[in-house]
Structure 1
Protein backbone atom coordinates (compact mmCIF):
# COMPACT_ATOMS: atom_id res chain seq x y z
CA UNK A 1 0.00 0.00 0.00
CA UNK A 2 1.24 3.47 -0.92
CA UNK A 3 1.12 5.94 1.97
CA UNK A 4 2.29 9.55 1.59
CA UNK A 5 1.97 12.31 4.18
CA UNK A 6 2.97 15.75 2.97
CA UNK A 7 2.25 19.46 3.15
CA UNK A 8 0.34 20.56 0.06
CA UNK A 9 -1.39 23.48 -1.64
CA UNK A 10 -4.98 22.90 -2.77
CA UNK A 11 -5.20 23.65 -6.51
CA UNK A 12 -8.48 22.20 -7.76
CA UNK A 13 -11.53 20.43 -6.35
CA UNK A 14 -14.48 18.85 -8.16
CA UNK A 15 -17.52 17.03 -6.86
CA UNK A 16 -17.57 13.25 -7.05
CA UNK A 17 -20.70 11.33 -6.20
CA UNK A 18 -23.24 12.64 -3.74
CA UNK A 19 -20.92 13.62 -0.90
CA UNK A 20 -17.31 13.20 -1.99
CA UNK A 21 -14.78 15.31 -3.86
CA UNK A 22 -11.64 14.75 -5.90
CA UNK A 23 -8.91 17.21 -4.95
CA UNK A 24 -5.70 17.96 -6.81
CA UNK A 25 -2.92 19.21 -4.57
CA UNK A 26 0.56 20.55 -5.30
CA UNK A 27 3.18 18.89 -3.08
CA UNK A 28 6.88 19.66 -2.65
CA UNK A 29 8.30 16.20 -3.39
CA UNK A 30 5.65 14.43 -5.47
CA UNK A 31 4.33 17.28 -7.60
CA UNK A 32 0.64 17.41 -8.43
CA UNK A 33 -1.35 14.63 -6.73
CA UNK A 34 -5.03 13.71 -6.89
CA UNK A 35 -7.08 11.99 -4.21
CA UNK A 36 -10.66 11.20 -3.26
CA UNK A 37 -11.90 12.96 -0.13
CA UNK A 38 -14.78 11.15 1.54
CA UNK A 39 -17.31 13.75 2.66
CA UNK A 40 -15.41 16.42 0.76
CA UNK A 41 -18.63 18.39 0.18
CA UNK A 42 -19.49 18.55 3.87
CA UNK A 43 -19.69 21.82 5.78
CA UNK A 44 -16.59 20.78 7.73
CA UNK A 45 -14.37 20.04 4.74
CA UNK A 46 -15.53 22.63 2.19
CA UNK A 47 -13.66 25.50 3.94
CA UNK A 48 -10.50 23.37 3.95
CA UNK A 49 -10.70 22.24 0.31
CA UNK A 50 -10.44 25.73 -1.14
CA UNK A 51 -7.86 26.77 -3.75
CA UNK A 52 -4.66 28.23 -2.27
CA UNK A 53 -5.16 26.76 1.19
CA UNK A 54 -2.13 25.04 2.68
CA UNK A 55 -3.00 21.64 4.14
CA UNK A 56 -1.38 18.61 5.67
CA UNK A 57 -2.40 15.79 3.32
CA UNK A 58 -2.39 12.02 3.70
CA UNK A 59 -2.71 9.90 0.55
CA UNK A 60 -3.37 6.16 0.71
CA UNK A 61 -3.70 3.80 -2.27
CA UNK A 62 -3.51 0.01 -2.61
CA UNK A 63 -2.05 0.14 -6.14
CA UNK A 64 -0.36 2.72 -8.32
CA UNK A 65 -3.35 2.71 -10.71
CA UNK A 66 -5.91 3.33 -7.98
CA UNK A 67 -7.08 6.84 -7.12
CA UNK A 68 -5.76 7.46 -3.64
CA UNK A 69 -8.00 8.18 -0.71
CA UNK A 70 -7.12 11.55 0.76
CA UNK A 71 -7.54 13.13 4.17
CA UNK A 72 -6.63 16.75 4.84
CA UNK A 73 -6.00 18.99 7.82
CA UNK A 74 -5.92 22.76 7.45
CA UNK A 75 -2.52 24.37 8.00
CA UNK A 76 -3.17 27.85 6.56
CA UNK A 77 -6.40 29.30 5.23
CA UNK A 78 -6.38 31.92 2.48
CA UNK A 79 -10.19 31.93 2.32
CA UNK A 80 -10.51 35.61 3.37
CA UNK A 81 -8.78 36.62 0.12
CA UNK A 82 -11.52 34.96 -1.93
CA UNK A 83 -13.96 37.70 -0.86
CA UNK A 84 -11.84 40.31 -2.67
CA UNK A 85 -12.42 40.23 -6.45
CA UNK A 86 -8.87 40.90 -7.66
CA UNK A 87 -6.95 38.60 -5.27
CA UNK A 88 -9.64 35.96 -5.78
CA UNK A 89 -9.16 36.08 -9.55
CA UNK A 90 -5.38 35.83 -9.18
CA UNK A 91 -5.67 32.84 -6.85
CA UNK A 92 -8.17 31.13 -9.14
CA UNK A 93 -5.82 31.51 -12.12
CA UNK A 94 -2.61 30.45 -10.34
CA UNK A 95 -4.20 27.31 -8.96
CA UNK A 96 -6.10 26.45 -12.15
CA UNK A 97 -2.93 26.87 -14.23
CA UNK A 98 -0.96 24.60 -11.89
CA UNK A 99 -3.65 21.91 -11.89
CA UNK A 100 -4.10 22.00 -15.67
CA UNK A 101 -0.49 22.35 -16.80
CA UNK A 102 1.43 19.85 -14.70
CA UNK A 103 1.53 16.09 -15.20
CA UNK A 104 0.56 14.22 -12.06
CA UNK A 105 3.07 12.73 -9.63
CA UNK A 106 6.15 14.28 -11.21
CA UNK A 107 8.21 16.36 -8.79
CA UNK A 108 8.50 20.08 -9.44
CA UNK A 109 9.94 21.39 -6.15
CA UNK A 110 10.83 24.74 -7.70
CA UNK A 111 7.24 25.25 -8.83
CA UNK A 112 5.90 24.27 -5.41
CA UNK A 113 8.04 26.95 -3.78
CA UNK A 114 7.22 29.49 -6.48
CA UNK A 115 3.46 28.89 -6.21
CA UNK A 116 3.67 29.35 -2.46
CA UNK A 117 5.62 32.55 -3.02
CA UNK A 118 3.03 33.97 -5.42
CA UNK A 119 0.19 33.14 -3.03
CA UNK A 120 2.10 34.69 -0.13
CA UNK A 121 2.64 37.83 -2.22
CA UNK A 122 -1.07 38.05 -3.07
CA UNK A 123 -1.86 37.74 0.62
CA UNK A 124 0.74 40.25 1.82
CA UNK A 125 0.91 42.94 -0.87
CA UNK A 126 -1.25 46.03 -0.26
CA UNK A 127 -1.83 46.49 -4.01
CA UNK A 128 -1.92 44.30 -7.10
CA UNK A 129 1.31 45.69 -8.54
CA UNK A 130 3.06 44.08 -5.58
CA UNK A 131 2.13 40.56 -6.70
CA UNK A 132 1.54 40.90 -10.45
CA UNK A 133 5.28 40.78 -11.18
CA UNK A 134 5.57 37.51 -9.21
CA UNK A 135 2.65 36.12 -11.21
CA UNK A 136 4.35 36.83 -14.55
CA UNK A 137 7.53 35.18 -13.32
CA UNK A 138 5.56 32.14 -12.16
CA UNK A 139 4.03 31.73 -15.61
CA UNK A 140 7.48 32.03 -17.18
CA UNK A 141 8.82 29.42 -14.75
CA UNK A 142 6.05 26.96 -15.62
CA UNK A 143 7.00 27.28 -19.28
CA UNK A 144 10.64 26.58 -18.44
CA UNK A 145 9.92 23.63 -16.13
CA UNK A 146 7.74 21.98 -18.76
CA UNK A 147 10.37 22.31 -21.48
CA UNK A 148 8.96 25.37 -23.25
CA UNK A 149 11.33 27.93 -21.77
CA UNK A 150 11.89 31.15 -23.67
CA UNK A 151 15.42 32.03 -24.80
CA UNK A 152 15.70 35.64 -23.72
CA UNK A 153 19.47 35.99 -23.72
CA UNK A 154 20.30 35.90 -27.43
CA UNK A 155 18.92 37.35 -30.63
CA UNK A 156 16.94 34.96 -32.83
CA UNK A 157 18.30 36.52 -36.03
CA UNK A 158 21.91 37.43 -35.24
CA UNK A 159 22.79 35.06 -32.38
CA UNK A 160 24.13 38.04 -30.47
CA UNK A 161 23.93 37.79 -26.68
CA UNK A 162 22.61 40.56 -24.48
CA UNK A 163 19.38 42.18 -23.31
CA UNK A 164 16.78 42.69 -26.01
CA UNK A 165 13.39 44.44 -26.28
CA UNK A 166 11.41 41.84 -28.24
CA UNK A 167 10.61 38.14 -28.47
CA UNK A 168 9.66 36.21 -31.59
CA UNK A 169 6.18 34.69 -31.12
CA UNK A 170 7.20 31.87 -33.43
CA UNK A 171 10.47 30.74 -31.84
CA UNK A 172 10.31 32.14 -28.30
CA UNK A 173 13.76 33.67 -28.79
CA UNK A 174 14.62 37.30 -28.11
CA UNK A 175 15.11 39.79 -30.96
CA UNK A 176 17.38 42.84 -30.87
CA UNK A 177 16.12 46.34 -31.63
CA UNK A 178 18.27 46.48 -34.77
CA UNK A 179 17.01 43.16 -36.11
CA UNK A 180 13.41 44.10 -35.27
CA UNK A 181 13.34 47.30 -37.34
CA UNK A 182 10.24 47.36 -39.49
CA UNK A 183 8.83 44.22 -37.84
CA UNK A 184 8.13 45.51 -34.33
CA UNK A 185 4.36 45.05 -34.78
CA UNK A 186 4.86 41.33 -35.40
CA UNK A 187 6.91 40.74 -32.24
CA UNK A 188 6.13 40.47 -28.54
CA UNK A 189 7.57 43.13 -26.27
CA UNK A 190 10.02 41.81 -23.67
CA UNK A 191 9.67 43.91 -20.49
CA UNK A 192 12.99 44.71 -18.79
CA UNK A 193 11.98 43.31 -15.38
CA UNK A 194 12.03 39.75 -16.76
CA UNK A 195 15.75 40.17 -17.42
CA UNK A 196 16.87 42.69 -14.83
CA UNK A 197 14.57 41.76 -11.94
CA UNK A 198 12.94 44.25 -9.62
CA UNK A 199 9.51 45.84 -9.81
CA UNK A 200 7.73 47.05 -12.93
CA UNK A 201 5.15 49.57 -14.07
CA UNK A 202 1.77 48.45 -15.35
CA UNK A 203 2.73 48.68 -19.01
CA UNK A 204 5.59 46.25 -18.45
CA UNK A 205 3.40 43.95 -16.35
CA UNK A 206 0.74 43.72 -19.06
CA UNK A 207 3.42 43.16 -21.69
CA UNK A 208 4.82 40.36 -19.55
CA UNK A 209 1.39 38.77 -19.15
CA UNK A 210 0.80 38.99 -22.89
CA UNK A 211 4.18 37.36 -23.54
CA UNK A 212 3.72 34.44 -21.16
CA UNK A 213 0.05 34.04 -22.06
CA UNK A 214 0.90 33.63 -25.73
CA UNK A 215 3.18 30.66 -25.07
CA UNK A 216 1.04 29.10 -22.32
CA UNK A 217 -1.96 29.06 -24.64
CA UNK A 218 0.01 27.64 -27.56
CA UNK A 219 2.30 25.13 -25.86
CA UNK A 220 0.85 24.16 -22.46
CA UNK A 221 -2.90 24.68 -22.21
CA UNK A 222 -3.89 22.72 -25.25
CA UNK A 223 -6.43 20.21 -23.91
CA UNK A 224 -8.35 22.32 -21.36
CA UNK A 225 -7.62 25.56 -23.13
CA UNK A 226 -11.00 27.30 -23.03
CA UNK A 227 -11.99 26.19 -19.53
CA UNK A 228 -8.71 27.20 -17.90
CA UNK A 229 -8.04 30.35 -19.89
CA UNK A 230 -11.44 31.72 -18.88
CA UNK A 231 -10.03 32.25 -15.38
CA UNK A 232 -7.06 34.13 -16.85
CA UNK A 233 -9.39 36.33 -18.87
CA UNK A 234 -11.32 37.21 -15.70
CA UNK A 235 -8.06 38.14 -14.00
CA UNK A 236 -6.94 40.31 -16.93
CA UNK A 237 -10.28 42.14 -17.01
CA UNK A 238 -10.11 42.88 -13.29
CA UNK A 239 -6.51 44.05 -13.50
CA UNK A 240 -7.37 46.41 -16.35
CA UNK A 241 -10.31 47.84 -14.41
CA UNK A 242 -8.15 48.25 -11.31
CA UNK A 243 -5.51 50.34 -13.11
CA UNK A 244 -7.85 52.28 -15.40
Structure 2
Protein backbone atom coordinates (compact mmCIF):
# COMPACT_ATOMS: atom_id res chain seq x y z
CA UNK A 1 0.00 0.00 0.00
CA UNK A 2 1.27 3.47 -0.83
CA UNK A 3 -0.11 6.99 -1.24
CA UNK A 4 1.10 10.58 -1.39
CA UNK A 5 -0.58 13.54 0.26
CA UNK A 6 0.03 16.78 2.11
CA UNK A 7 -0.91 17.63 5.68
CA UNK A 8 -0.29 19.53 8.88
CA UNK A 9 1.40 17.93 11.88
CA UNK A 10 -0.97 17.51 14.82
CA UNK A 11 1.22 15.59 17.27
CA UNK A 12 4.51 13.72 17.51
CA UNK A 13 5.59 11.08 20.00
CA UNK A 14 8.86 9.21 20.29
CA UNK A 15 8.93 5.63 19.02
CA UNK A 16 11.91 3.49 19.99
CA UNK A 17 15.37 5.00 20.12
CA UNK A 18 15.28 7.40 17.19
CA UNK A 19 11.94 7.14 15.38
CA UNK A 20 8.72 9.07 15.94
CA UNK A 21 5.03 8.40 15.40
CA UNK A 22 3.68 11.43 13.57
CA UNK A 23 -0.01 12.30 13.49
CA UNK A 24 -1.07 14.37 10.50
CA UNK A 25 -4.27 15.98 9.28
CA UNK A 26 -4.01 15.30 5.58
CA UNK A 27 -5.97 16.68 2.66
CA UNK A 28 -7.22 13.36 1.25
CA UNK A 29 -6.72 10.80 4.04
CA UNK A 30 -7.89 12.72 7.11
CA UNK A 31 -6.20 12.22 10.46
CA UNK A 32 -3.55 9.62 9.78
CA UNK A 33 -0.57 8.27 11.73
CA UNK A 34 2.74 6.90 10.51
CA UNK A 35 6.26 6.19 11.72
CA UNK A 36 9.07 8.50 10.62
CA UNK A 37 12.47 6.80 10.84
CA UNK A 38 14.91 9.15 12.54
CA UNK A 39 12.03 11.44 13.45
CA UNK A 40 13.31 11.92 17.00
CA UNK A 41 16.82 12.84 15.85
CA UNK A 42 18.46 16.24 15.74
CA UNK A 43 17.91 16.65 12.00
CA UNK A 44 14.22 15.75 11.84
CA UNK A 45 13.10 16.81 15.32
CA UNK A 46 12.92 20.55 14.51
CA UNK A 47 10.94 19.76 11.34
CA UNK A 48 8.33 17.55 12.98
CA UNK A 49 6.61 20.22 15.06
CA UNK A 50 2.85 20.77 15.48
CA UNK A 51 1.54 22.96 12.69
CA UNK A 52 4.31 22.22 10.19
CA UNK A 53 3.02 21.54 6.67
CA UNK A 54 4.52 18.41 5.11
CA UNK A 55 4.40 16.58 1.81
CA UNK A 56 4.37 12.89 2.70
CA UNK A 57 4.48 9.42 1.23
CA UNK A 58 2.87 6.72 3.35
CA UNK A 59 3.73 3.04 2.88
CA UNK A 60 2.55 -0.13 4.60
CA UNK A 61 2.51 -3.79 3.72
CA UNK A 62 -1.15 -4.03 4.80
CA UNK A 63 -3.59 -1.11 4.83
CA UNK A 64 -4.52 -1.62 8.50
CA UNK A 65 -0.90 -1.28 9.65
CA UNK A 66 0.35 2.02 11.05
CA UNK A 67 2.82 2.24 8.16
CA UNK A 68 5.70 4.64 7.69
CA UNK A 69 6.03 8.17 6.39
CA UNK A 70 8.74 9.75 4.35
CA UNK A 71 8.34 13.50 4.73
CA UNK A 72 9.34 16.65 2.91
CA UNK A 73 8.81 20.04 4.63
CA UNK A 74 6.50 22.42 2.77
CA UNK A 75 6.45 25.27 5.28
CA UNK A 76 7.05 25.80 8.96
CA UNK A 77 4.67 27.92 11.00
CA UNK A 78 6.83 28.17 14.11
CA UNK A 79 8.28 31.54 13.12
CA UNK A 80 4.77 33.02 13.13
CA UNK A 81 3.96 31.97 16.68
CA UNK A 82 7.07 31.60 18.84
CA UNK A 83 7.16 35.27 19.81
CA UNK A 84 3.39 35.56 20.34
CA UNK A 85 1.83 33.71 23.28
CA UNK A 86 -1.69 34.02 21.88
CA UNK A 87 -0.73 32.75 18.43
CA UNK A 88 1.18 29.83 19.96
CA UNK A 89 -1.85 29.01 22.09
CA UNK A 90 -3.98 29.19 18.95
CA UNK A 91 -1.76 26.72 17.10
CA UNK A 92 -1.78 24.36 20.08
CA UNK A 93 -5.57 24.57 20.41
CA UNK A 94 -6.20 23.89 16.71
CA UNK A 95 -3.88 20.89 16.52
CA UNK A 96 -5.10 19.44 19.84
CA UNK A 97 -8.80 19.81 18.98
CA UNK A 98 -8.30 18.18 15.57
CA UNK A 99 -6.44 15.29 17.19
CA UNK A 100 -9.18 15.04 19.83
CA UNK A 101 -12.21 15.22 17.55
CA UNK A 102 -11.38 13.63 14.21
CA UNK A 103 -11.81 9.91 13.60
CA UNK A 104 -8.77 8.20 12.14
CA UNK A 105 -8.44 7.89 8.36
CA UNK A 106 -11.69 9.70 7.52
CA UNK A 107 -11.30 12.54 4.99
CA UNK A 108 -12.69 15.96 5.93
CA UNK A 109 -11.65 18.11 2.96
CA UNK A 110 -13.72 21.17 3.88
CA UNK A 111 -12.45 21.29 7.45
CA UNK A 112 -8.93 20.58 6.22
CA UNK A 113 -9.01 23.64 3.99
CA UNK A 114 -10.31 25.85 6.79
CA UNK A 115 -7.73 24.48 9.22
CA UNK A 116 -4.78 25.13 6.91
CA UNK A 117 -6.06 28.64 6.20
CA UNK A 118 -6.35 29.33 9.93
CA UNK A 119 -2.87 28.00 10.66
CA UNK A 120 -1.49 30.25 7.92
CA UNK A 121 -3.28 33.25 9.48
CA UNK A 122 -1.61 32.89 12.86
CA UNK A 123 1.00 35.46 11.92
CA UNK A 124 -1.73 38.11 11.47
CA UNK A 125 -2.78 39.13 14.97
CA UNK A 126 -5.69 41.27 13.77
CA UNK A 127 -7.30 38.49 11.73
CA UNK A 128 -6.85 35.05 13.28
CA UNK A 129 -8.89 35.29 16.54
CA UNK A 130 -12.14 35.76 14.60
CA UNK A 131 -11.06 33.10 12.10
CA UNK A 132 -10.40 30.76 15.03
CA UNK A 133 -13.86 31.37 16.51
CA UNK A 134 -15.51 30.63 13.19
CA UNK A 135 -13.27 27.57 12.82
CA UNK A 136 -14.69 26.19 16.09
CA UNK A 137 -18.16 26.67 14.62
CA UNK A 138 -17.03 24.77 11.51
CA UNK A 139 -15.56 21.97 13.66
CA UNK A 140 -18.87 21.56 15.49
CA UNK A 141 -20.71 21.50 12.15
CA UNK A 142 -18.32 18.94 10.67
CA UNK A 143 -18.70 16.66 13.68
CA UNK A 144 -22.50 16.79 13.46
CA UNK A 145 -23.16 19.39 16.15
CA UNK A 146 -23.78 22.52 14.09
CA UNK A 147 -25.62 25.46 15.60
CA UNK A 148 -28.75 26.92 13.99
CA UNK A 149 -28.39 30.69 14.11
CA UNK A 150 -30.71 31.47 11.21
CA UNK A 151 -33.84 32.47 13.15
CA UNK A 152 -35.27 32.69 16.66
CA UNK A 153 -36.28 29.30 18.06
CA UNK A 154 -39.18 30.94 19.93
CA UNK A 155 -40.65 33.56 17.57
CA UNK A 156 -39.27 32.44 14.20
CA UNK A 157 -37.99 35.96 13.52
CA UNK A 158 -34.60 36.60 11.92
CA UNK A 159 -33.88 39.95 13.59
CA UNK A 160 -32.46 40.92 16.98
CA UNK A 161 -30.84 37.51 17.56
CA UNK A 162 -28.72 37.90 20.71
CA UNK A 163 -28.75 34.53 22.50
CA UNK A 164 -28.20 30.82 21.88
CA UNK A 165 -30.10 28.10 23.69
CA UNK A 166 -27.59 25.91 25.59
CA UNK A 167 -29.97 22.98 25.19
CA UNK A 168 -30.78 23.12 21.46
CA UNK A 169 -28.01 25.25 19.94
CA UNK A 170 -30.61 27.48 18.27
CA UNK A 171 -30.64 31.27 18.20
CA UNK A 172 -33.04 33.23 20.42
CA UNK A 173 -34.04 36.87 20.00
CA UNK A 174 -34.21 39.40 22.82
CA UNK A 175 -38.01 39.31 22.65
CA UNK A 176 -38.09 35.51 22.56
CA UNK A 177 -35.78 35.15 25.57
CA UNK A 178 -38.10 36.83 28.04
CA UNK A 179 -37.36 35.85 31.63
CA UNK A 180 -34.97 33.11 30.46
CA UNK A 181 -32.32 35.52 29.18
CA UNK A 182 -29.92 34.92 32.07
CA UNK A 183 -29.92 31.18 31.32
CA UNK A 184 -28.96 31.56 27.67
CA UNK A 185 -25.58 31.80 25.99
CA UNK A 186 -24.42 34.97 24.22
CA UNK A 187 -24.72 35.30 20.45
CA UNK A 188 -22.27 38.06 19.49
CA UNK A 189 -22.80 39.75 16.09
CA UNK A 190 -19.51 38.33 14.77
CA UNK A 191 -21.00 34.82 14.82
CA UNK A 192 -23.69 36.13 12.48
CA UNK A 193 -21.14 37.68 10.13
CA UNK A 194 -21.85 41.19 11.37
CA UNK A 195 -19.05 43.62 12.18
CA UNK A 196 -16.92 45.42 13.05
CA UNK A 197 -15.73 42.93 15.64
CA UNK A 198 -14.92 43.95 19.22
CA UNK A 199 -12.49 41.94 21.35
CA UNK A 200 -15.17 41.12 23.92
CA UNK A 201 -17.27 39.53 21.16
CA UNK A 202 -14.53 36.96 20.58
CA UNK A 203 -14.59 36.03 24.27
CA UNK A 204 -18.40 35.80 24.23
CA UNK A 205 -18.35 33.65 21.12
CA UNK A 206 -15.76 31.30 22.63
CA UNK A 207 -17.93 30.92 25.72
CA UNK A 208 -20.75 29.76 23.47
CA UNK A 209 -18.75 27.43 21.22
CA UNK A 210 -16.90 26.11 24.27
CA UNK A 211 -20.20 25.08 25.85
CA UNK A 212 -21.10 22.91 22.86
CA UNK A 213 -17.60 21.50 22.50
CA UNK A 214 -17.75 20.43 26.15
CA UNK A 215 -21.40 19.40 26.46
CA UNK A 216 -22.07 17.94 23.01
CA UNK A 217 -18.84 16.99 21.24
CA UNK A 218 -16.72 15.65 24.10
CA UNK A 219 -19.40 13.28 25.50
CA UNK A 220 -19.95 11.87 22.01
CA UNK A 221 -16.28 10.89 21.92
CA UNK A 222 -16.32 9.10 25.27
CA UNK A 223 -15.23 10.24 28.70
CA UNK A 224 -12.28 12.34 27.53
CA UNK A 225 -12.23 16.00 28.61
CA UNK A 226 -11.50 18.73 26.08
CA UNK A 227 -7.80 19.43 25.58
CA UNK A 228 -6.54 21.93 28.14
CA UNK A 229 -4.98 23.96 25.33
CA UNK A 230 -8.43 25.13 24.32
CA UNK A 231 -9.17 26.60 27.78
CA UNK A 232 -5.76 28.26 27.77
CA UNK A 233 -6.50 29.96 24.46
CA UNK A 234 -9.94 31.13 25.59
CA UNK A 235 -8.33 32.65 28.68
CA UNK A 236 -5.72 34.53 26.65
CA UNK A 237 -8.21 35.81 24.07
CA UNK A 238 -10.47 36.93 26.89
CA UNK A 239 -7.76 39.39 27.92
CA UNK A 240 -7.49 41.06 24.51
CA UNK A 241 -7.90 44.81 24.31
TM-score (structure 2 length as normaliser): 0.92
SS of equivalent residue, structure 2 residue 25: strand
Q: CA distance change for structure 1 residues 181 and 233 in 2, over 3 Å: closer, same or farther?
A: same
Mapped to 2, the partners of 1:28 and 1:198 lie a distance apart of 31
The aligned counterpart of 2:73 is: 74
**1:1-244 map, 5 Å:** 2-84=1-83, 85-123=85-123, 125=124, 127=125, 129-162=126-159, 164-222=161-219, 223=222, 225-226=224-225, 228-243=226-241
Task: Give 1:15 shift.
Answer: 1.9
Mapped to 2, the partners of 1:15 and 1:111 lie a distance apart of 28
- How many pairs are equivalent? 238
Two-structure CA RMSD over aligned residues (Å): 1.8
SS of equivalent residue, structure 1 residue 57: strand
Task: Give 1:29 shift.
Answer: 1.6
Q: Give yes or no for contact 2:27–2:112 (8 Å, CA) kept in 1.
A: yes
Mapped to 2, the partners of 1:152 and 1:242 lie a distance apart of 26
Q: CA distance change for structure 1 residues 55 and 215 in 2, over 3 Å: closer, same or farther?
A: same
SS of equivalent residue, structure 1 residue 183: helix
SS of equivalent residue, structure 2 residue 127: helix
Q: Which runs of 5+ in 2 are unaligned?
A: none
Q: Give yes or no for contact 2:140–2:213 (8 Å, CA) kept in 1.
A: yes
Mapped to 2, the partners of 1:149 and 1:163 lie a distance apart of 21
SS of equivalent residue, structure 1 residue 181: helix
| Cα displacement string for residues 175-220 of structure 1 (whole angstroms, at most 9, x for unaligned residues) | 1111102211100111112212555111111111111111111222
Q: Give yes or no for contact 1:48–1:73 (8 Å, CA) kept in 2.
A: no
| Cα displacement string for residues 109-134 of structure 1 (whole angstroms, at most 9, x for unaligned residues) | 111110111111112x1x3x421000
Task: Give 1:161 shift.
Answer: 4.1
Mapped to 1, the partners of 2:195 and 2:69 lie a distance apart of 40
Task: Give 1:72 shift.
Answer: 1.0
